[in-house]
Amino acid sequence: MLLVREGNKAASQDDQARNRLKHIAIIMDGNGRWAKSRRLPKFAGHKKGADAVRAIVEKCADLDVDFLTLYAFSSENWNRPVEEVNDLMGLLKIYLTKEIEELHKQNIRINFIGSRERLSKNIIALIDEAEDRTRDNTKLRLTLALNYGGQEEIVNAARNIAKKVKDGNLAVEEINGKIFSENLYTNDMPEPDLIIRTSGEKRLSNFMLWQAAYAEFVFQDVLWPDFTKESLCNAIDEYYRRDRRYGARP
């Protein structure tokens, strides 16, 4: 079971069992500002951010977190300068080429959520290969939200449900929250317990809008390339200090 850092007062065993941290989602923000503050090209920030990803994935696996979802590239990020987008896609190719075998050795499963439209054929092939290679791994499920937008995800779910109704496979009266969740990209994952955003910004930026209904939020001023295992533990400590009521009263 995932516990708070050694040295901190832990919650009761019953509370920890009820509020066990199964799914962490992170909005990785601040790569560009990290590079700018050091008078480096933005690519240097993104590359340093990839190193942070490696450390956080390793730490989550050590802590027995079941699910880790990282906001890697939003559907709005296409509006960035072409050179920066190309750098990000190039970095993704490197990651998928070099890191997958190591993830597989660590029994980590990787999958992707988001639209695959606008992604190049070679990136899609690498994504398919990574998912197939690690499909049966059970230690940690690492999900990269790539070309992802929460509003688009909700619209797609509504469209899928409407088609099922039109085809006679679903009655309007049967539509509920469970049905809707089953038509999201995350249909086989639990909703996030904890959402972390770095860089000091305090917004979701179109990330997991449906799934975040009862997530706990932790905002940290640290830029993503400087986000460490210690930063993660601080966020986890904060999570275990919260009283999750889900709208009810004790």
Q: Is 248 within a domain?
A: no
- In a domain? residue 247: no
- In the set 29, 66, 87, 193, the catalytic residue is 29
Residue 94: inside a domain: yes
* Residue 2 included in any domain: no
Exposure b/e, 22-38, CB count within 10 A at least 16 = b: bbbbbbbbbbbbbbeee
HEC profile for the chain? CCCCCCCCCCCCHHHHHHCCCCEEEEECCCHHHHHHHCCCCHHHHHHHHHHHHHHHHHHHHHCCCCEEEEEEEECCHHHCCHHHHHHHHHHHHHHHHHCHHHHHHCCEEEEEECCCCCCCHHHHHHHHHHHHHHCCCCCEEEEEEEEECHHHHHHHHHHHHHHHHHCCCCCHHHCCHHHHHCCCCCCCCCCCCEEEECCCCCCCCCCCCCCCCCCEEEECCCCHHHCCHHHHHHHHHHHHHCCCCCCCCC
CATH (domain of 104):
3.40.1180.10
In a domain, 1, yes or no: no
**What residue numbers bound the domain in which 60 lies?**
13-241
In this prediction the pTM is 0.91
Say if 129 falls within a structural domain: yes
77 is catalytic: yes
What's the confidence (pLDDT) of residue 250? Answer: 64
pLDDT given at position 243: 86
Can you give the pLDDT of all 250 residues of the chain as single tens digits? 444 544 444 445 555 566 789 999 999 999 999 999 999 999 999 999 999 999 999 999 999 999 999 999 999 999 999 999 999 999 999 988 889 999 999 999 999 999 999 999 999 999 999 999 999 999 999 999 999 999 999 999 999 999 999 999 999 999 999 999 999 999 999 999 999 999 999 999 999 999 999 999 999 999 999 999 999 999 999 999 998 877 776 6
The domain tally of the chain equals: 1
Active-site pick, 19, 77, 137, 156: 77
pLDDT tens for each residue of 204-248: 999 999 999 999 999 999 999 999 999 999 999 999 999 887 777
Kindly state whether residue 250 falls inside one of the protein's structural domains: no
Asked if the structure places residue 100 within a domain, the reply is yes
